[in-house]
Structure 1
Amino acid sequence: MRSTGRCLLRSWMRALRQVTFAGIVGAALASGQASAAFSDENDIDVRASKEGDVIVVDVDLAVRASRDEVWNVLTDYDHMAEFVANLESSAVISRTDNALDVIQKGKARYGLLSFPFESVRHVVLTPSREIHSKIVSGDMAGSEITTRVASDGAMTQVSVRSQFVPTIWIPPIIGPQAIASETRKQWFTLREEVLRRRALVAEPIPAAR
């Protein structure tokens, strides 16, 4: 019984690592939270469910910034390791017009446990409106994520639809709840980076004395 329990726990942790990693930034826990936050993650709507062999994650959030400001962060793959805490490297390795391949490496952490990861994703951009990403190698190869960005007055609405097919078992109830929690942290991190950059631009430069 103990051996079976340990095997299930290891399988569950690998699955959580895979699905969290496969999200819009490859893997993202909260970064830069030692300083005061610009927003609160509780208004980020995340719904995760297991439908047969597929894990479906939907995200909706609002950002008090322009669509271009949001877009610039979501597509800043070459600098993503600078503001996503557990990314060691992120780089565009090929690009043709609005299609690009991105490689990311890092380490996902869950309490005392940590897991290295690496993936290559093919990304197709519809400028300032939609990002379609498919993982072509590494964890969760074949998974697809579509992110849509739309202006709404002074706000920008972001909607994300992710579909994953895990290669190992995920608990039907606890699994989606944990995935939703980690996904919310990912998007809180990205929104904080948008707002941080916006605040830097908005701050007036002191006059020389």
Structure 2
Amino acid sequence: MRTGTRLLRSRRVWLVGGLILTAGAAHAASIERLHVDHEHEAYRVTARVHIAAPAGPAYAAAIDFERLPDYSAMIESTRLIGADKLASRMRLCVLWYCKTLRQVMRYRLDPPKRIDMTVVPGRGDLSSGNAHWRFKPDGEHATELEFRARIVPDLWVPPLIGPWAIARALREQVVATATAIERLAQHRDDANDKPTP
């Protein structure tokens, strides 16, 4: 009985969160697939996103960490720490509850195709986890972005909306980041197309 209830709740969270997300992301990068699973304390996210920018500029935008907040209202700040760590703050709101999510990730780059990140424990609101970005050209002027992550949050949310709120926040974070990458990549592309005086 408990497994069936958990499965029904998981489907409901996916459906409701997906509908709200779709309604709020009309001008975002094109989300082809976005799914969040919750098991015990861990959340798994998988997504496929279509970015309207060539793969080179899309990857360059994704690793231009300190400029991404200029292209997303949700990303409050990003800061490089040393040679391989990134601290970021995301503003997430669900119903009446808002939270600034802090995270520090150790990253590894494999241009122009991969970004791999691992949570630095004790440095934010995630106790453990990892995230993986894969960039594939989709013709000359577009990029297919595959994203998958597994995270264990270490933050308090109101009990009545706990798992639902976190699942929705994760979806919104993926959309906000992909949209920021697309906007920054398009800006870079436009700037490169302008003739030099």
CA separation of 1:92 and 1:178: change in aligned 2, threshold 3 A = closer
CA separation of 1:156 and 1:162: change in aligned 2, threshold 3 A = same
TM-score (norm 1): 0.64
Q: CA RMSD in A?
A: 3.2
69-78 vs 56-65, which deviates more?
A: 56-65
Q: Could you say which residue in structure 1 is the equivalent of 2:143?
A: 156
Q: Could you say which residue in structure 2 is the equivalent of 1:140?
A: 126
Q: Could you say which residue in structure 1 is the equivalent of 2:78?
A: 90
CA separation of 1:200 and 1:78: change in aligned 2, threshold 3 A = same
| 1:93-131 CA-partner distances (Å, limit 9, x unpaired) | 211xxxx11122353334554323332210011121111
- Aligned mates of 2:168, 2:100 — CA distance in 1: 23
| 1:41-91 CA-partner distances (Å, limit 9, x unpaired) | 454321111234321111112223222101111111122222232334322
Q: How does 1:179-194 map to 2 (within 5 A)?
A: 179-180=170-171, 183-194=174-185
2:45 is aligned with 1:57:
yes
Unaligned runs of 5+ in 1: 1-29
Among 54, 74, 78, the alignment partner of 1:66 is 54
Which one-letter code corresponds to 1:67 in the other structure? Answer: A
2:106 is aligned with 1:122:
yes
Unaligned runs of 5+ in 2: 1-23
Give me the identity figure in percent.
16
CA separation of 1:42 and 1:152: change in aligned 2, threshold 3 A = closer
SS of 1:65's equivalent in the other structure is: coil
Q: Could you say which residue in structure 2 is the equivalent of 1:14?
A: none
Q: Could you say which residue in structure 2 is the equivalent of 1:107?
A: 91
- Aligned mates of 1:112, 1:173 — CA distance in 2: 14
Alignment check: 8 A CA contact 1:44 1:184 kept: no
Alignment check: 8 A CA contact 1:55 1:163 kept: yes
CA separation of 1:43 and 1:134: change in aligned 2, threshold 3 A = closer
Alignment check: 8 A CA contact 1:124 1:131 kept: yes
Which one-letter code corresponds to 1:76 in the other structure? Answer: D
TM-score (norm 2): 0.68
Q: Which has the higher helix share?
A: 2
Report the count of equivalent residues: 167
